């Protein structure tokens, strides 16, 4: 049997080694530039350069020798660099790099929509950049003229690289807005359900807002509950440049000796690090577990009635459901135990300990990425309301402790400006994809392709699903992120044209008709902030190496396309890359001055080759979420209809949705472990990967640090393995009615019986691309997950719902081909 963390990335990475760097932060007021310039001089003598940049994985110096990046050395002040940085560097040079503009042969020779089944078979023809730009511009025009503006889909969801200029998602929409109209998307895959329900419950989306900070937790919290929440895994990355402040935060909890409980089907890295107690309910049964705890609180009079009276509305409408007065079934610990598989005594014990300690409930996102996922978030807030500690130091709930180092204190910094989408839309942040007339919920694109003209209910509105014939993606990987891959393949046949920009031959690029090779962040200049919540520094993202092969930046590509359509000047505004970057910095400099801070002039900042730091004020260091509301609920009312936490929502009641009742409710998902209608014995946890950001860097040698027989690992408990005669290291077939994949078995006690873990983001590698249902030879978990929506309220994805079975694979092993160039013909 394997050790606790069998797929831990192994690398030559040593933290101590990195901490010896000489680099100093450029502090406001003090200017230690000479120091960093000196160290650069010293490096120059060895023929090396160390160039500052940043990524989702953190700030770093790119060490360049003879024009080649030989190492990405974490920034000396990074408290916890991620080993993945090695794979990030590899992504520049990997065998899966897209080298030239490519067009699918059937599309090129026979026209748009030709032979859609041949998508994915790798038969591409190399074309010149000039021809590629011409084809794209003409095709967008043709589709708009033939079917109308809405037939072009530019929702392009995904984790494009950070940077205020080279934001490919925004740049795509900028080009589309300037040249006509298009259909866009709303929401995201991360928090699709929570961000829609929370405005009804607590008055804002909350999931991307700051939590009570770690210095407060370390001082006041007695019991830290990580509920499906693993910051040691998930805070390795951020949406902007990762600061990794959560790692310092967790260290402070450890030093303070705060008790920790982790409620999770897996033994998380966070639980392991904090020596926490591991409580493992069956997946997708957290709502019954929370109800069982709530019932115990109520029946043992451990709930805070004063808090409920003063700060919440609707508890009275929820109570008959909790007690069973409404439906004859008390939601007590015994009832909950039957469903979630824990002992009733354990549930009662949790309730008592939550009530008798200063308790912080830290919730991850996985539970709302499930069928009826709105309910778990709502029920958790309800539970926190009953405990009555919201707004007190170290108590209440937090919804982003695992994400982008939520809880790391926010610095006093200006906000960098960013390029816009030319229609007043924002910077392509993940929530509101404005700037388009027609928007569909982001996870409903496949449904849209299959049902044009039909009406969809969504958050109190009705949307008529548009007819879409052309989809354009830049900075996302739908053939990784969307569920039910086989349904998706069917839907994709409705498209006449699929255009993709990327630097890797992902499954998405392989299924495209036109593929345009882009630069990585490390082949262009940009600027970004450090930390989504910390906002502690501004980082120059400098070009480290020249573009590989014929790669071009998304900015230059879209500028050329816009130019072909007569909007070139409007796209660039006549400004170069460095003009834009300088402009964003100077905008921030003005904002900083208004806040009493003086930033150095741009050239000094850029040349310093160091992040520019900003101060931390005490009130931010010791921030307590909802403190102001607790102090004065009238003056600082929440943004809900009643200004209070809503345990019952009149607005939701009026929508009358059968799959989203007006108070938190246990609703059976379509399938779950031991559920009443379940057809397979194992529940799938498709967690966010430990050694990747979704699918990113899967196509690099870093994959070998976790792959098993060259395949994505599949964790299973020794009991489940023994029943199936599976040993650690075997290749297994994981299957259900929707699809099948190969994976490498990792037999481990770190997962509860009845659950398997196949992390999301493994590259889809169908053995027969034209055949729907074909075996995926690498291990894309989304061949198994359902494409359904959480409910009519949020229409969000259910990536964390799904059951399957596993067997030892004894046939001839098919080759994994997805990590090399698609076909010998295109090698150039």
Q: How far is the CB of 167 from ligand MGD (least distance, A)?
A: 8
Is 790 an interacting residue with respect to ligand MGD (CB under 6 A)? no
Q: Is 159 a catalytic residue?
A: yes
By CB under 5 A, how many residues form the interface with Mo ion?
1
Considering only residues 488-507, where is the footprint of ligand MGD by CB under 6 A? 501-504, 506
Distances (CA, A) of 318 to 331, 387, 638: 11, 15, 20
Q: What angle do CA 799, 361, 635 make, to 5 degrees?
A: 110
Interface with ligand MGD, residue 561, by CB under 6 A:
no
The dihedrals phi and psi of 732, each to the nearest 5 degrees, come to -120, 155
Say whether residue 80 binds ligand MGD (CB under 6 A). no
- Contact between 781 and ligand MGD by CB under 6 A: the answer reads yes
**Nearest distance, CB of residue 455 and ligand MGD, angstroms:** 26
Q: What is the dihedral of CA 17, 94, 240, 688, to 10 degrees?
A: -90
425 vs 600, beta carbon nearer ligand MGD:
425
Does position 81 interact with ligand MGD (CB under 6 A)? The reply is: no
Choosing from 264, 523, 610, 730, the residue that interacts with ligand MGD (CB under 6 A) is 264
Question: Is the separation of the CB atoms in 55 and 88 below 8 Å?
Answer: yes
Q: For ligand MGD, which residue of 94, 389, 518, 717 counts as binding (CB under 6 A)?
A: 518
**Residue among 183, 184, 190, 366 that touches Mo ion (CB under 5 A):** 190
Name which position in 78, 86, 90, 286 contacts ligand MGD (CB under 6 A): 286
Using rule CB under 5 A, residue 404 touches Mo ion: no
Scanning 361-369, 377-385, 536-544, 662-670 for contacts with ligand MGD by CB under 6 A, the matching segment is 361-369
Give the residue with the Cβ less far from ligand MGD, 502 or 560.
Answer: 502
- By the rule CB under 5 A, 366 interacts with Mo ion: no
Q: What's the residue count for the chain?
A: 828
102 binds ligand MGD (CB under 6 A): no
By the rule CB under 6 A, 752 interacts with ligand MGD: no
Residues from 759 through 778 that contact ligand MGD (CB under 6 A): 760-761
Catalytic residue among 75, 159, 200, 606: 159
- H-type helices in 148-223, by residue range? 168-179, 194-201, 214-220
Cα 531 from Cα 206, distance rounded (Å): 17
Number of residues this chain uses to bind ligand MGD (CB under 6 A): 63
Encoded tokens for 143:
């589709």
CA distance linking residue 671 with residue 802, whole number of Å:
6
Catalytic hit among 75, 107, 153, 157 = 157
- The radius of gyration computed from the CA coordinates of the chain, to the nearest angstrom, equals 26
Q: At what angle do helices 286-299 and 315-323 cross, to 10 degrees?
A: 100
| Residue 477 interface partner, choices Mo ion, ligand MGD, none, CB cut-off 5-8 Å depending on type | ligand MGD
- Kindly give, in sequence order, each residue whose CB lies less than 8 Å from that of residue 574, ignoring residues fewer than 6 positions away: none
Q: Which is nearer to Mo ion, 312 or 368 (CB)?
A: 368
Contacting residue, 53, 486, 785, 821, with ligand MGD by CB under 6 A: 785
Residue bearing tokens 């040993």:
727
Q: Please, which residues bridge with residue 743 across strands?
A: 732
Burial class (CB in 10 A: 0-12, 13-18, 19+), 709: middle
Which of 127, 175, 263, 514 binds ligand MGD (CB under 6 A)? It is: 263
Nearest CA to 389 among 322, 303, 313, 300?
303
Catalytic annotation present for 93: no
What are the φ/ψ torsions at residue 587 (nearest 5 degrees)?
A: -60, -40
Per CB under 6 A, 389 contacts ligand MGD? no
Could you say which of ligand MGD, Mo ion, none residue 513 binds, taking C-beta under 5 to 8 angstroms by partner kind?
none
Phi, psi for residue 130 in degrees, rounded to 5: -60, -45
Interface residue with ligand MGD among 158, 245, 435, 779 (CB under 6 A) is 158
Cβ burial 159-193 (10 Å sphere, 16+ → b, else e): bbbbbbbbbbbbbbbbbbbbbbbbbbbbbbbbbbb
Compute the least distance from the CB of residue 640 to ligand MGD, in Å. Answer: 25
Q: Which of 441, 610, 667, 716 is nearest to 61 (CA)?
A: 610
Asked if residues 289 and 378 have their Cβ atoms less than 8 Å apart, the reply is no
Task: Build a one-symbol-per-residue string for 693-712: x at contacts with ligand MGD by CB under 6 A, - elsewhere.
Answer: xxxx----------------
In the complex, minimum distance from the CB of residue 190 to Mo ion, in angstroms, rounded to a whole number? 3
User: What CA–CA distance (Å, rounded) separates 268 from 276?
Assistant: 10
Q: Pick the closest to residue 240 from 162, 164, 168 (CA basis).
A: 162
CB of 5 to Mo ion, least distance (A): 22
Active site residues: 157, 159
Q: Which residues bind ligand MGD (CB under 6 A)?
A: 158-161, 166, 168, 189-190, 227-230, 233-234, 236-237, 263-266, 268, 283-284, 286, 364-367, 369, 402-403, 474-477, 480-481, 483, 501-504, 506, 518, 554, 685-690, 692-696, 760-761, 781-782, 785, 799-800
Q: Interface residues with Mo ion (CB under 5 A)? A: 190
């Amino acid at each position: 049997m394997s050790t606790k963390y069998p797929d831990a990335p192994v690398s030559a990475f040593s933290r101590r080694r990195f901490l010896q760097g000489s680099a100093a932060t450029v502090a406001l007021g003090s200017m230690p530039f000479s120091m960093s310039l000196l160290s650069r001089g010293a490096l120059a003598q060895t023929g090396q350069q160390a160039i500052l940049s940043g990524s989702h994985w953190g700030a770093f110096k790119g060490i360049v020798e003879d024009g080649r990046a030989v190492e990405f050395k974490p920034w000396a002040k990074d408290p916890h660099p991620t080993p993945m940085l090695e794979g990030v560097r590899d992504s520049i040079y990997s065998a899966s790099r897209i080298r030239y503009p490519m067009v699918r042969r059937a599309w090129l020779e026979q026209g748009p929509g030709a032979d859609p089944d041949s998508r994915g078979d790798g038969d591409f023809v190399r074309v010149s950049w000039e021809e590629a730009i011409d084809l794209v511009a003409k095709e967008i025009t043709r589709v708009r003229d033939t079917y109308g503006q809405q037939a072009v889909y530019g929702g392009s969801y995904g984790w494009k690289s950070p940077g205020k200029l080279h934001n490919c998602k925004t740049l795509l929409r900028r080009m589309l807005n300037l040249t006509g109209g298009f259909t866009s998307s709303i929401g995201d895959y991360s928090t699709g359900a929570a961000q829609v329900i929370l405005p009804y419950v607590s008055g804002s989306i909350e999931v991307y807002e700051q939590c009570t900070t770690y210095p407060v937790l370390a001082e006041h919290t007695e019991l830290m509950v990580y509920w499906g929440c693993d910051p040691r895994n998930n805070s390795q990355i951020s949406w902007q440049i990762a600061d990794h402040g959560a790692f310092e935060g967790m260290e402070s909890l450890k030093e303070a000796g705060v008790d920790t409980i982790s409620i999770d089907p897996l033994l998380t890295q966070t639980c392991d690090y904090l020596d926490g107690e591991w409580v493992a309910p069956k997946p997708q049964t957290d709502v019954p577990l929370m109800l069982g705890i709530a019932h115990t609180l109520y029946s043992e009079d451990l709930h805070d009635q004063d808090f409920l009276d003063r700060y919440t509305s609707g508890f009275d409408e929820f109570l008959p459901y909790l007690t069973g007065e409404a439906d004859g079934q008390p939601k007590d610990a015994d009832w909950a135990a039957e469903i979630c598989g824990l002992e009733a005594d354990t549930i009662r014990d949790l309730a008592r300990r939550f009530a008798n300690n200063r308790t912080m409930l830290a919730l991850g996102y996985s539970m709302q990425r499930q069928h009826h996922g709105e309910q778990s978030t709502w029920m958790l807030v309800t539970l926190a309301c009953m405990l009555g500690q919201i707004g007190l130091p170290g108590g209440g709930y937090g919804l982003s402790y695992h994400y982008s180092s939520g809880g790391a204190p926010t610095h006093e910094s200006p906000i960098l400006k960013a390029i816009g989408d030319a229609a007043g839309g924002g910077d392509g942040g993940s929530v509101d994809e404005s700037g388009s007339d027609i928007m569909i919920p982001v996870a409903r694109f496949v449904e849209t392709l299959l049902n044009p003209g039909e009406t969809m209910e969504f958050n109190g509105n009705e949307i008529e699903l548009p007819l879409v014939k052309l989809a354009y993606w830049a900075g996302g990987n739908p053939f990784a992120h969307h569920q039910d891959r086989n349904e998706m393949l069917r839907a994709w046949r409705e498209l006449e044209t699929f255009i993709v920009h990327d630097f890797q031959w992902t499954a998405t690029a392989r299924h495209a008709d036109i593929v345009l090779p882009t630069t990585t962040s490390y082949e262009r200049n940009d600027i970004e902030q450090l930390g989504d919540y910390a906002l502690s520094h501004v980082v120059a993202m400098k070009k480290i190496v020249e573009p590989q092969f014929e790669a071009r930046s998304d900015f230059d590509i879209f500028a050329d396309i816009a130019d072909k359509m007569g909007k070139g000047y409007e796209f660039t505004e006549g400004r170069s890359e460095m003009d834009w970057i300088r402009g964003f910095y100077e905008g921030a400099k003005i904002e900083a001055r208004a806040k009493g801070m003086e930033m150095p002039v741009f050239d000094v900042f850029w040349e310093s080759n160091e992040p520019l730091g900003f101060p931390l004020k005490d009130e931010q260091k010791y921030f307590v979420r909802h403190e102001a509301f607790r102090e004065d609920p009238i003056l600082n009312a929440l943004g809900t209809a009643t200004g209070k936490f809503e345990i019952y929502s009149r607005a939701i009641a009026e929508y009358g949705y059968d799959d989203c009742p007006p108070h938190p409710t246990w609703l059976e998902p379509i399938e779950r472990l031991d559920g009443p209608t379940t057809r397979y014995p194992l529940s799938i946890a498709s967690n966010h990967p430990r050694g990747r950001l979704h699918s990113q860097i899967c196509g690099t040698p870093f994959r070998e640090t976790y792959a098993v027989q060259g395949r994505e690992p599949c964790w299973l408990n020794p009991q489940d393995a023994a029943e199936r005669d599976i040993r650690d290291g075997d290749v297994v077939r994981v299957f259900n009615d929707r699809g099948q994949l190969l994976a490498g078995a990792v037999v481990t006690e770190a997962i509860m019986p009845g659950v398997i873990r196949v992390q999301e983001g493994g590259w889809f590698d169908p053995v027969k691309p034209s055949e729907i249902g074909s075996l995926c030879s690498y291990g894309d978990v989304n061949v198994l997950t359902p494409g359904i929506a959480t409910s009519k309220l949020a229409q969000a994805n259910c990536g964390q719902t799904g059951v399957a079975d596993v067997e030892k694979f004894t046939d001839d092993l098919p080759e994994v081909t997805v990590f090399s160039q698609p076909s010998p013909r295109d090698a150039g």
